[in-house]
Structure 1
Amino acid sequence: MDKRQSIASSGVDAVRSLHPDRSLADEWAPTEKACFDAGAAYLAAVEQFDGIATARAQAAFQNAAHGLGEAAQAVDRFYSRHRSELEQARSALAATPRLAQDAKSLAEKAQLAVAEADPAFVDYPSVRAAWRGVDDAVSTLDSATAAGDALGARTAAARVREAATELDEAIAAAPARAQEARSALASVRTRVEAVNTRFDRLAPAFSALLREFNAASSADLSGNERLAARHIEQAQEDLSAARASNSSGSPEEALDYIAQARAHLADAERLVDAVTDRVDLLREVKADPTRKEHSVRFTLRDAQQLAINRGLVAEWGSVLDAQLARIDRAHAALTGTHPDYWSYIQDLDSISRFITGVIDRMRGSAR
């Protein structure tokens, strides 16, 4: 019984160490108590009746033997129910020190590869960060091992392996960084030229907005030229910094500057396009103000028909009718020499979104 209990108990301890969220220990506790009680009963019989051949002694030993047998069978039943989990946990716990050592060996190998690489690569930010990641992971593993935290050690060992892989990848990628930076520099130079060309269209487009349309149609775009120019200027500054970094042997720093330049160029493009697209949109609506309106009216009729078909007129009929009035008011507001087409577009878009939302809710209520 003692041997069986010891095997089962070590398995339960292993499960508790590696899976503290599992409640196997609660199930084991009554069986373990039965073993302790049976053992205590046997020892009490030995102490009281050892060497005594009486009926009372015989009964005491028979009762103790029966208790030991019952306890042993309870251990067997418990172990049979949880054999796979217990054996896997015990095996994993036993393998934890080796797992930790193997992870540290990988870390040492990765750091040795850096030491043997071109010294210029060691100062690359990606390599430095990966090296720190390995150091931090190994430190965490050592702390968990010293504390006897098996679960923490296994988790930390996995992180050490990941960090070692990241360091291997960083040093392997380092030789290509210089070429990557040169290619990126050429690409961004071309893009700066393209954005400058697009920027040249902004002022004429904004002037057209002021001449051809209501002042409200361009009020939100009045600062776009200044902001776009500043973004282009910042992109050119970043590009110059990137060239200097690459020339001084810091291609990764150059790539960071290039990323900033690209972000500024994207912002400049967005600001330019907002003006040129606004001109195109307003001219399109001015040429045929009813085209967009008809599209919204068509969507409204579809919504009204859906309400009829699904028996939802009482719930949504008046709501949809109100959108027709909103469309009529938006159309009626197109007055004067320079009607406010931008407000007209925004009103129709708002109405369209509202109708679409009603359609979605009607379809959802029918499911």
Structure 2
Amino acid sequence: MTATPSQPYSPMVPRARRLPHRSRRRRPPGALRDTLTLVGLPFLAALALPAAFAGGGTRRWFGGRAESQRAEAQAAKDDAAAAFYELDTAQRDLRISVETIAAVDASPAARRAVTDFEALGRRIDEVSHQYIDAVDAHDLDRDDLEASAASRARGDLTAARTELGRVKQELDRFAEGLGPLLGKAETQLARLAPAVERARQALLAASDALDTAREAGLRADDLAARLAALGPELTRLNQGAGRHGVPETLERAERVTREAESVRAEAERLPERAAEIDHRLVSLRTRAQALTTRSEQVEPVLSELRRRFTAACWQDLQHVPDQAGESVRQAERKLAEARTARDEQRWPDATALLSTVRALLNATDEAVSAAGDRLGRLNAVQKNPEQEIERTRFAIRDAQRLAMAGRNTPDPRHARPLDEAVARLERAITTLEGRHPDYWHFLTETEGVRHTVADVVAGIREERGAGH
């Protein structure tokens, strides 16, 4: 069914279905009236005298049984008419519900409901024709209506009323089954108008925000293009759900609302975004200049490392001065590109370039700091290696106590790595003996031992936590 709730109602009952009417008695023709006038009152009185002795008019002359049958037939006719009107009204009301479902819901259940309603409509047409034929077949207003004819009329009209009632019950059961589908359809229809209005308001707000940004000297060409792309969507929304369907219109309205709100938010943030990019340009340029100065100090640090410690303690830092200088120069080139992008208001490009500059400067900062940190740690261990040794031994003993808590013997999974950690520490201590100790190897070994011990402790606590 392609009808929508907005289409005019077209009854399913065919034009052949018409309402019954009572025939009117015809008045005597003019000639007969004139004849009666000429005959005069005495003659009429003579004609009426036998009738008076008979006790009434013509109908009563045939007896009361015919009148009783006529009354029963007329009551059956009235009951059938009431059933007919009730069925017709119910069908009209239900048609509106079915059209609503068809306009909103394209599911198999909705299509099946439309098909079933059409089948019911054909059944209603059949019983309606049966009723109309019964009415047309019997003239209950005839003066000479016989009792047998009135009885047949009553039977036909009663049968018609029974069929009308039976179909009305089928229609009522069908209406009850439409409840979930109709509720869903009405919910979607209730959402339709507010959703379309939200989309229109979102588009208007996005346009206003874009105008405000332009007044501030910000072009926002990309946002303007995104907003212009929503123009055809607004046209389709204005054409209405009758043309594009309720589900499609709802989905379109929600999509337009999301995109318009995104454009509005970005347009409102443009001044803040421009100020943020300006701030980052200045901040990163200052940091690049500071790193240039710090990188110049790496070479003296390396000279001291070469003079006081073995090659193993500093040879991995040889590339730091050259790498730091190149990284800073590359960061400065990217900063210049970011400045150009900002001047041209290419905000995504400017943001991406500034992120690259930041990554370059972070890597340079770490490399430059590594040389100074290395010298500081080597100086400390050369002056007092016992402090590093005791720190590592404490970590091992603490892990051993935890492994033995509540046990007579440690779990081999914990004892084995802890025993290996003890042996590894002892081997590292031996590297400090001799004329040229490898302090860096000693520091990396003790740090590795502590990492191993920390992993064992974490495993023990995780197992005991899971046990609880």
Equivalent residue, structure 1, for 2:205:
106
Equivalent residue, structure 2, for 1:61:
164
Match of 2:301 among 190, 193, 205: 205
Equivalent residue, structure 2, for 1:276:
372
Distance 1:190 1:38, change over 3 A: closer
Post-superposition shift, 1:104? 3.2
The code of the aligned residue for 1:69 comes to: D
Equivalent residue, structure 2, for 1:322:
420
Equivalent residue, structure 2, for 1:163:
263
Mapped to 2, the partners of 1:188 and 1:111 lie a distance apart of 30
When you count helix as a share of all residues, which structure comes out higher?
1
Counterpart of 2:218 in 1: which secondary structure?
Answer: helix
Match of 2:327 among 219, 231, 234: 231
Counterpart of 2:432 in 1: which secondary structure?
Answer: coil
Identity %: 22
Q: Are 2:203 and 1:121 aligned? A: no
Deviates more, 1:263-272 or 1:355-364: 263-272
Mapped to 1, the partners of 2:122 and 2:346 lie a distance apart of 75
Q: Is the 8 A contact 1:330 1:347 kept in 2?
A: yes
Mapped to 2, the partners of 1:33 and 1:259 lie a distance apart of 62
Post-superposition shift, 1:27? 7.4
The code of the aligned residue for 2:125 comes to: L
Question: Within 5 A, what are the aligned runs for 1:1-367?
Answer: 1-2=90-91, 3-4=93-94, 6-7=96-97, 10=100, 14=104, 38-52=120-134, 53=156, 56-76=159-179, 78=180, 87-113=186-212, 117=215, 121-122=218-219, 127-138=220-231, 149-150=248-249, 151-170=251-270, 172-173=271-272, 177=275, 181=278, 187-188=283-284, 190-237=286-333, 262-311=358-407, 313-366=411-464, 367=466
The code of the aligned residue for 1:154 comes to: E
- The Cα offsets for residues 60-99 of structure 1, whole Å up to 9 and x where unpaired, read as 22221211222233445x47xx95x654422212334433
Q: Is the 8 A contact 1:141 1:157 kept in 2?
A: no
Distance 1:132 1:39, change over 3 A: same
Mapped to 1, the partners of 2:228 and 2:432 lie a distance apart of 69
Q: Is the 8 A contact 1:130 1:163 kept in 2?
A: yes
Distance 1:316 1:264, change over 3 A: closer
Counterpart of 1:51 in 2: which secondary structure?
Answer: helix
Equivalent residue, structure 2, for 1:20:
none
Equivalent residue, structure 2, for 1:22:
none
Distance 1:249 1:45, change over 3 A: closer
Q: Is the 8 A contact 1:212 1:338 kept in 2?
A: no
The code of the aligned residue for 1:285 comes to: V
Mapped to 2, the partners of 1:301 and 1:5 lie a distance apart of 86
Post-superposition shift, 1:357? 1.9
Distance 1:5 1:353, change over 3 A: farther
The code of the aligned residue for 1:347 comes to: E
Post-superposition shift, 1:224? 0.6
Post-superposition shift, 1:210? 1.7
Post-superposition shift, 1:166? 1.7
Equivalent residue, structure 1, for 2:29:
none
The two structures have a TM-score, normalised by structure 2, of 0.60
The code of the aligned residue for 1:121 comes to: L
Distance 1:241 1:55, change over 3 A: closer
The code of the aligned residue for 2:190 comes to: S
Mapped to 2, the partners of 1:200 and 1:43 lie a distance apart of 100
Structure 2 residue runs of 5 or longer lacking an equivalent are 1-89, 135-155
Structure 1 residue runs of 5 or longer lacking an equivalent are 18-24
RMSD of aligned alpha carbons:
4.0
Deviates more, 1:251-260 or 1:203-212: 251-260
The code of the aligned residue for 1:65 comes to: K
The two structures have a TM-score, normalised by structure 1, of 0.74
The code of the aligned residue for 1:324 comes to: V
The code of the aligned residue for 2:218 comes to: F
Larger radius of gyration: 2
Mapped to 1, the partners of 2:449 and 2:300 lie a distance apart of 32
